[in-house]
A and B are shown apart, each in its own frame.
Chain A
Amino acid sequence: MKKIHLLLAVTTVFIISSVFLTIEASANSALVTSLENQQKNLLKQRSELENTLVGEMSGATLEEKSVELGFGKPKDLMYLTSSEQVAALR
């Protein structure tokens, strides 16, 4: 009699565990899907931001903008020689 009870108890535990595991796996599957979607969206956003940033910071764009803002390159450079010392400073 005891053996039957034990067998029933073990079987019940197994059944409950199996159901619990299935529910848990199913819930986690939904979580995995949600995380994957989030990852996909974040990667997409990162890619878009990176490209916008790189595009805006490209040398050609910056050169154009700097000229628009009045930061033109000097046309002529003057090289000055340092003046010779005529007396020691004390």
Chain B
Amino acid sequence: MIRRIKIVSLLFALLCICLIARLSYWQIVRGKALSREASSQYESSKVLFANRGDIKASDGSYWAMGNEAWLVYANPQEIKEPPRSIALKLNQFFKEDSEERLISFLEKKDLLWVPLKEKVSGEIKRGIEVLNIGGIGFEVQEMRFYPEASVAAQLLGFVGKDEAGEDTGYFGLEGYYNLSLAGKPGFVGREKDAAGAPILLGGARQVTAVSGVDLTTSLDKRIQLTINRMLREGIERYGAKAGTVILMNPENGNVLGMESYPSYDPLKYWDYGDTYFKNPAISDSFEPGSVFKVLVMAAALDAEAVKPDTKCDICDGPLKVDKYLIETWNKEYRPDSTMVDVLVHSDNVGMTFVGQKLGADALYDYLDKFGIGRPTGIDLQGENAPALRKKGTWNVVDLATASFGQGVAVTSMQMVRAVSAIANGGVLVTPRVVQKISGEGWEESGKVIPGKKVIEAGTAQEITAMMVEAAKYGESQWTNLRGFKIAGKTGTAQIPIAGHYDPEKTNASFIGFAPYDKPKFVMLVTLKEPSTSPWASETAAPLWYLIAKDLFPYFGIQPED
């Protein structure tokens, strides 16, 4: 009997040891792994996406907004049909993807989740759902929607992916305000029952997602659509390679419209080359040519180096400066031209006279004050600012050529800003696109940077009067809108190539503002290498006036008589 009891006890002891060993194995050796496995069964966690903020026009309509899209994924372990058959079915929706690529994803049997296609529309999702393919699922995503397609594309930028595969804004407003627009994603983790419903008495952790802010811009949709359409027509009409139009309120620096062509569709940015993404209005520099003369003349008037009625005593023929001969654009010379005549006839010799009267250092100081050689500070990503030649290093040739806009480089935005100072009584403002930033229940006005006085108000009036004369009696007088108060200046600039100027190609520009006594806008039109005529007076100027004519009723600008 005792022997039996001992055997049973031994058996129990052995069983206990086995049990302890097994429990130790589960608890100690496999403890963490099993705990994770159990957690995955009763805990659910998901990232709460932060909605990207909208970008709106000045009237509250949309430039860019969030749109619901779907990530299509496969669980290869749940796929019942042959991968080739599924790939064939999906390929009708993912036309740009090859079947082989889809098959290679679907054959990854060791994986539970394989992304097949990102950012597909609700329509495509419904189409795939109808096919009822086992092992294919969807996850919600956010896709950017640009209702005006390629209009203002280079100004808006686009949303692409960064190195980590996260949505990121590039270029323009999307790039400049990326952090504010993106918001901050949240997280929710909680316990769930077998049916997947949350266990309210269980543990839960939640970090609320913070949506990105909305941006309200000064961009006027009516203006933007008009300049978009007319710039395209103008480029076609004059056979130009590219073009840019900028409209700005000179009083406060609000950008009313900015368009360049060729452009791209931000919804399909991957179909275009990198060269389309940068905004030529702020990134591309060019030799401004004669439009630059208004800045040089304004500087000379302000420094009292010349007066409007000062006579040019070297304007009777070509001028030799060092080893270079400076000529007028049409080889016509007007002895004793006044400064008004010099600007009206865009006289290079006359402008050299002005430059010599002003001096290189003073010219440099004024150009610096006008913001030439430094970024304008506009709230767009990708601004470029070609540097001015260093002060004190300008020789007589540099001074002479800079006086009529050669040998210096500017961006279109710099030029608009500088001429805005003339239109604004001599005060230089900082261009801005965003007027208001708003979130849920709050809003804040955009940063206002006070203007800086560049020239005296009297000087601004004098140079404005000269620009009015240039518009009325200059080379572009044939296209001038009679009766309207317009101040403007044409600019035909040769294109520097490999140490010399291209004899045939030019950049044509026209810059002006209206009404000249209380300007509502400053507008610059530039056309790159127009082929119908090399002259701005026959290309950029008529386009400027066409756009202005279209916009005058909208601005409420009427003829003076």
A residues with CB within 8 A of B: 21-22, 25-26, 28-30, 32-33, 44, 47-48, 50-51, 54-55, 57-61, 63, 73, 77, 79
A8 to B149: give the CA distance in the assembly, Å. 74
Indicate whether B78 reaches chain A with its CB closer than 8 angstroms. Answer: no
Q: Mark B193-206, 1 if CB is under 8 A from A, else 0.
A: 10111111100000
Which of chain A's residues have a CB closer than 8 A to the CB of B148?
Answer: 58-60
**B200 and A79 contacting across the interface, CB-CB below 8 Å:** no
Known: A57-B61, A77-B553. A51 touches B558 (CB 8 A): no
Given contacts A30-B197, A47-B68, A55-B145, 11 further A-B contacts (CB under 8 A): A28-B200, A29-B199, A32-B197, A32-B198, A33-B196, A33-B198, A47-B66, A47-B67, A54-B65, A59-B221, A79-B559
Which of chain B's residues have a CB closer than 8 A to the CB of A79?
Answer: 483, 558-559
Distance (Å) between the CB of A69 and the closest chain B CB?
A: 17
Chain A residue nearest to B146 in the complex (CB): A58
A60 to B149: give the CA distance in the assembly, Å. 8
**A33 and B197 contacting across the interface, CB-CB below 8 Å:** yes
Distance (Å) between the CB of B243 and the closest chain A CB?
A: 19
Which of chain A's residues have a CB closer than 8 A to the CB of B62?
Answer: 54, 58
Q: Mark B463-498, 1 if CB is under 8 A from A, else 0.
A: 000000000000000000001000000000000000
Which of chain B's residues have a CB closer than 8 A to the CB of A73?
Answer: 550
A55 to B123: give the CA distance in the assembly, Å. 15
Which of chain A's residues have a CB closer than 8 A to the CB of B198?
Answer: 29, 32-33
In order of increasing CB-CB distance, the 9 nearest A-B pairs are A58-B147, A29-B197, A47-B68, A33-B197, A25-B200, A59-B221, A59-B225, A54-B147, A25-B201
B residues with CB within 8 A of A: 61-62, 65-68, 122, 145, 147-149, 151, 193, 195-201, 221-222, 224-225, 229, 483, 549-550, 553, 558-559
**B68 and A63 contacting across the interface, CB-CB below 8 Å:** no
**B553 and A48 contacting across the interface, CB-CB below 8 Å:** no
Which of chain A's residues have a CB closer than 8 A to the CB of B66?
Answer: 47
Which of chain B's residues have a CB closer than 8 A to the CB of A33?
Answer: 196-198
**A51 and B67 contacting across the interface, CB-CB below 8 Å:** yes
Distance (Å) between the CB of A39 and the closest chain B CB?
A: 13
Which of chain B's residues have a CB closer than 8 A to the CB of A47?
Answer: 66-68
Chain B residue nearest to A34 in the complex (CB): B197
Distance (Å) between the CB of A88 and the closest chain B CB?
A: 26
**A44 and B68 contacting across the interface, CB-CB below 8 Å:** yes
Which of chain A's residues have a CB closer than 8 A to the CB of B147?
Answer: 54-55, 57-58, 60-61
Known: A59-B148, A59-B225. A25 touches B199 (CB 8 A): yes
A54 to B146: give the CA distance in the assembly, Å. 9
